[in-house]
Structure 1
Amino acid sequence: MFKPCVMIPVYDHEHAIGAVVEAVLAHGLPCMLVDDGSKPSCARVLDQLAAAHPGSVMLVRHAVNQGKGGAVLTGFHSAAQAGYTHLLQVDADGQHATSDIPRFIALARLHPHAVIAGCPVYDESVPKLRLYARYLTHVWIWINTLSFAIRDSMCGFRIYPVAPVVALASRCALGKRMNFDPEILVRLFWDGVQVVNLPTRVTYPSDGVSHFNALRDNVLISRMHTVLFFGMLIRLPKLLARKWRSA
């Protein structure tokens, strides 16, 4: 069975979320909005979207902001309870090319046990400092997996099989903020889940709102890389054996 759902974590993106939801619904897929403790003005917009699309838009709400990773994990648990097999994660700020949704769905059908991970193709809107800083994370991800299988670990446009993520989250405390996107890919890779990379256009962002906290999130990401590095050392024989088998 292949039953996908689009999930959008939302935190104060009231100016962009309406267009993102309409673009998603145009592809005939159900949409789950996870309100991660947004302010009242955004919460009202989300209520209106859910009311305008009964049966197509499901709204799940956090009373207090938990971070992007926390919102995504809530989406996974809700998707599992609703019987969805795959979850397509899309950011709320409009930076992802929703026109590529059929490509993600098609690849997920071909590789139902894999993560289909968006690999960004940027335009001129990308901040150069953010672009260059991403490569530091890329290098650490390649070290911590002993592989180049994950071409970009920070793009939030990706489709997951639900069951392996729920199983992983049940035994491992995953990052709740901007450290979630890279950590989940590494840990799924360690679990033997294939990662299929899909180039996709990314812009920065349509509503001018970014919730990346330079100090907090860089500290969390640095700590994550350190934890993953020691996790890689523990798994080194297994990772080397996998690399040898695939050579």
Structure 2
Amino acid sequence: MPERSRTHLLLIPSFNTGPKLVETVKGALEEWSPVWVVVDGSTDDSEKAVEALLPEHEGDLRILKLPVNSGKGSAVLQGTTEAVAQGYTHVLTMDADGQHASGSIRKFMEASQSKPETVVLGLPQFDSSAPLIRLRGRRIANWWARLETMSDLGDCLFGFRVYPAAPLIQVMQKTRWARRFDFDPEVAMRLIWRGHPPLNVPAPCRYFTKAEGGVSHFNYYRDNVLLTWMFTRLFLGFLLRLPKLLGRKLRSN
């Protein structure tokens, strides 16, 4: 079992991810401690198999349960708030559906430990399982994210990343958005605005089919509308911050 960290916590938000959840948790526990799972109002009893792991992993594994589904951002906020209350300074977020490789956990945590002021962002390395339409949409989103932060942000949508915990809470408390599919891009952009530079670290990403147990709650229409609204909202913030962002860009060159 890995030595328990006193500063860096692994956080897995989950909503109805079926058997993939316990597979993800087992893989995470092989690489890091502590691991917390935030069950975001799941109705599929997927957390039962994780609960069965608790006696064997006392102190290394914790489950937080939210009564109703409120979105990934809300689940991460709840978990991060509790983590800060217990003295943790950073959280690595990892999807529960198996897309993120547990073998990357240590590399990301070490990158954060060496540069704690950064937001360690996963730079996804897709294989042939990635849907082409998702990749095309991703390119558009990343173009806007880089424009509005004037940074070298690698990927704004990939949820495998390490956040400075207290700043994450602060940026989320200042907006009523960033609670669902807009969570990953909006908080990354807002943290960069605050002066936390992105540190892009490559990580493999795999999309599972339904036959392989893959679960996706992505809705092409709803979530793309939400993203479009997010970039529109944040564009005004970008314009207001433009002089500061330009100055930061010049100093870094």
The TM-score with structure 1 as length reference comes to 0.94
Alignment of 1:191-210 (within 5 A): 191-205=194-208, 207-210=213-216
Unaligned runs of 5+ in 2: none
CA contact 1:174–1:184 (8 Å) conserved in 2: no
Return the alpha-carbon distance in structure 2 between the equivalents of residues 225 and 92 of structure 1: 26
Query: Is contact 1:14-1:45 (8 Å) kept?
Result: no
1:14 to 13, 18, 29: 18
Mean Cα displacement is larger for which, 168-177 or 100-109? 168-177
1:228 is matched with 234
Is the contact between residue 2 and residue 109 of structure 1 (CA under 8 Å) also seen in structure 2? no
2:87 alignment counterpart? 83
Change in CA separation of 1:244 and 1:29 when aligned onto 2, cut-off 3 Å: same
SS at match of 2:46: helix
Contact 1:2 1:86 in 2 (8 A): no
Alpha-carbon separation, structure 2, partners of 1:50 and 1:131: 38
Q: Which residue in the other structure is 1:125 paired with? A: 129
Cα 1:34/1:138, change in 2 over 3 Å = same
| Contact persistence 2:6–2:87 (CA under 8 A) | no
Distance in structure 2 (CA, Å) of the matches to 1:103 and 1:111: 12
Q: Quote the Cα distance in structure 1 between the aligned partners of 2:6 and 2:242.
A: 34
Matched residue SS, 1:84: coil
1:113-168: per-residue Cα shift (whole Å, max 9, x none)? Answer: 11111000011111111111101101110111123x21101001001111211222
Q: CA offset at residue 40 of structure 1?
A: 4.3
Runs of 4+ in 1 over 6 A off after TM superposition: none
1:154 and 2:154 correspond: no
In structure 1, C-alpha distance between the alignment counterparts of 2:215 and 2:86, rounded to whole Å: 31
Mapping of 1:101-140 within 5 angstroms?
A: 101-140=105-144
User: By how many angstroms is 1:2 displaced?
Assistant: 6.0
- SS of residue matched to 2:124: strand
Task: Give the distance between the partners of 1:235 and 1:220, measured in 2 at CA.
Answer: 23
Shift in Å at residue 179 of structure 1? 0.6
Secondary structure of the structure 2 residue equivalent to 1:35:
strand
Structure 1 unpaired stretches of 5+: none
Say which is worse superposed, 112-121 or 33-42, in terms of deviation: 33-42
What is the TM-score with the length of structure 2 in the denominator?
A: 0.92
Which of residues 23, 27, 45 is equivalent to 1:23? Answer: 27
Instruction: State the identity as a percent.
Output: 39
Query: Residue type of the partner of 2:183?
Result: F
Q: Structure 1 residues 52, 213: closer, same or farther in 2, change over 3 A?
A: farther
Number of residue equivalences: 246
Shift of 1:57: 1.1
